[in-house]
Amino acid sequence: MRNLRDAWHYLTTGANWGGSEGMWHLLVQQLLLTVTALAAAMLIGLTLALWLGHLGRAGFLAVNVTNVGRAVPTFALLAILVTLRHPGTATLGPYGRAGLATLIALTLFALPPIFTNAYVAVREVAAPVKESATGMGMTGSQRFWRVELPLSMPLIVSGIRLALVQVWATATIAALVAGPGLGTLITEGFYRTDYPKGIAAAFVVAVVAFVLEVGSALLERAVDPNRKGTATRSGLPRDRVASGVGG
């Protein structure tokens, strides 16, 4: 219990937040990592998934990518990437030490939910809808942009949301292998038996995770065209759960 009180003391001491080793700096660094990796994963994953989904090919990828992603421990992949010569442990601009290796690993772990959701979303657009689009004289690309994409938006966005929360968690684990971000305070705290410091940083990480989860859920609700009318009537908590963690 003394650890809890000391952790609170650590959190409320202004000096621990400022400076280049302070919590603000590390928090911004980790958010930057998360956003960059998510953007990279969206660029790769969405392009690939929407294209393959539109063509209706390579369905086995959608299933297997998720399963493999789950079985490979984040920590193990990070360890291998950091130890590999190529990505290296060098500092990368604002991304901090082992920045590149961390970014690669984060992008890899953001891919499965983004890819699977986007692929399934486009693939599962009802066949009669697609047929009527073609019947109306739409070309393949018109059908994709005007029919398939708008209809798949909710599922695509929920995949991105899953990825966001997952990338934040993975970015924290990066600290176990000398990566950047708030996780460094947690590992330092535990390896040097300064538990209050580790617990305080863990608290900040958890709070940001909540904020990201709830914030993106609200954003998802705002983006979803089908829910606008009913969202205010059906209760908020159950709706959020329904669209919540899927894997």
Tokens describing residue 197: 């410091």
Residue 240 binding another protein, by CB under 8 A: yes
What's 84's DSSP letter? S
Among 102, 133, 202, 220, binds another protein (CB under 8 A): 202
Q: For 55, what's the count of Cα atoms within 13 Å in the CB-facing half-sphere?
A: 8
- For residue 198, state whether it binds another protein (rule: CB under 8 A): yes
Evaluate whether 42 touches 114 at the Cβ level (below 8 Å): yes
Stretch near another protein under the rule CB under 8 A, chosen from 16-24, 34-42, 65-73, 116-124:
65-73
Structure tokens at 111: 């891919």
3 binds another protein (CB under 8 A): yes
Asked if 105 touches another protein (CB under 8 A), the answer is no
Please tell me whether residue 168 binds another protein under the rule CB under 8 A: yes
C-alpha to C-alpha distance for 211 and 207, rounded to whole angstroms: 6
Q: Which of the ranges 33-41, 47-55, 130-138, 171-179 carries the binding residues for another protein, by CB under 8 A?
A: 171-179
C-alpha 69/C-alpha 80 separation (Å) is 15
Nearest to 46 by CA among 149, 178, 199: 149
Q: Which of residues 72-101 bind another protein (CB under 8 A)?
A: 72-77, 79-80, 82-83
Instruction: Identify the three-state secondary structure at position 135.
Output: helix
Cβ closest to another protein, residue 16 vs residue 152: 16
- 173 binds another protein, rule: CB under 8 A: yes
- 127 near another protein, rule: CB under 8 A: no
Residue 51 binding another protein, by CB under 8 A: no
